Amino acid sequence: MSTTTPSSQFEPLAAPPGEPETAQDAVQALSDWIIECGLSGSDLVALIGGLCERLLALDLPLQRGHVSMAALHPSFEAFGCTWRRGEGVQSEVFEHGSDTQAQWRASPLHHMIERGQTRMRRRLDGPDAKVDFPVLREFREQGGSDWLALLLRFGNASQTINLPGMVISWVADRPGGFTEQEVALIERLAPRLGLACYRIALQQVAEGLLDAYVGADAGQRILRGQIQRGAAERLSAAIFFADLRGFTGVADRLPGERLLAMLNDRLGAITDAVEAHGGQVLKFLGDGLLGVFSLEGRPVAEVCGAALAAAEDALAANAVLQRRHGPMEGDALELDIALHLGEVLYGNVGSKRRLDFTVIGPAVNEVSRIETLCATLGRNLLLSERFARACGREVEPLGEHRLRGVAQPQALFTLATKA
């Protein structure tokens, strides 16, 4: 996956105000700019694009610049970006097990990492040319004359965050390549670039892991400082509660690896449906999940319609998986979903050292109790009365039912069967 930012978005390097425009001033200004980017921003594209354009302004014959770093993320294992003169910056994300693995293993950067080599340089033109990797031949065919790469390590073997370091590489296209003074400049700036990239990588780790483990909205709230135990706000929402019926019996018979793969497939399909319609999953509950569709700034009917569409898509996706894989050890894993409408408390719950960012309140308890009646009523989708009246769809009444722990019987509904 990649996106490109044009070169025109990056401003050229200016001399420090009030000082003569010398090469030394310009280099110091560039060094200061890198540190400033590391302190104030978390945009790798802006950093690499701005750096390469500024190196061009110092008359370095740059044709290409590349940076890549290992990631700590459940979906991708590395990220980076590549700048090309006149084309801008292309950001890149490399997913776990992607089809680029063979290409990466054949690259000189992989060779450096495997051997712990911190510097590699290859002349691409002239009598001293050494083009011993496929990608270097590509660079030479594109007019490259010199290739320089550096490996920078983050921390040491005892660090607790699995971010080992970064690789940077540069291609020149002037005949004869980089001068020794230009190489010295690149190597002088490399530690500063590494520090700025490390800060960006840490930001990526924080955002990516919070997004994966608590959800995008909750993650952003945590990063903005909503971290105290008991800190919460009232939120009106459509509440989505899903559970796989028959899972306990399947879990008793399936090997652990097959069970985990099956559960990931089912929960992944439900989550995709919720997120596709604007909801967020707050918690996985063994073989089920809890999600919300916030009413903030949106009409009730629109939000309830989105939650109902997510439920229909999730049920359809689960049915497809059931047909594809067949009943698991004799048990059909049906999906049961309950939808409710109400006010919840959205925030931090737990102990001083272990918190959970979730929703609590009577409405959450009620929707979980409603879901347990799906099997009793022979329905895969149940709606509370409040939700049914607000969703704008034709519904079928199922009578009043007692919910465990709720004083008054509750009227329940399902979608009307199409004629």
Sign of CA dihedral 310, 314, 317, 323: negative
CA Rg, the chain, in Å?
28
Report residue 148 as tokens.
């320089």
Q: Is the pLDDT of residue 160 over 80?
A: no
DSSP at 9: G
Task: Convert the pLDDT of each residue in 48-61 to its tens digit.
Answer: 999 999 999 999 99
The rounded percent of the chain whose pLDDT value lies above 90 is 51
Q: Is the pLDDT of residue 15 over 60?
A: no
The rounded percent of the chain whose pLDDT value lies above 70 is 88
Q: Of residues 33 and 353, which shows the higher confidence score?
A: 33
CA dist 68 and 308 (Å) reads 42
pTM, to two decimals: 0.71
Residue whose C-alpha is closest to residue 241's, from 381, 339, 383, 369: 339
pLDDT of residue 8: 44
Spell out the domains of the chain, with CATH numbers in brackets: 2-213 (3.30.450.40), 215-415 (3.30.70.1230)
Question: What are the backbone dihedrals phi and psi of residue 272, each rounded to the nearest 5 degrees, phi first?
Answer: -60, -40
Overall average pLDDT of the 316-337 stretch: 79
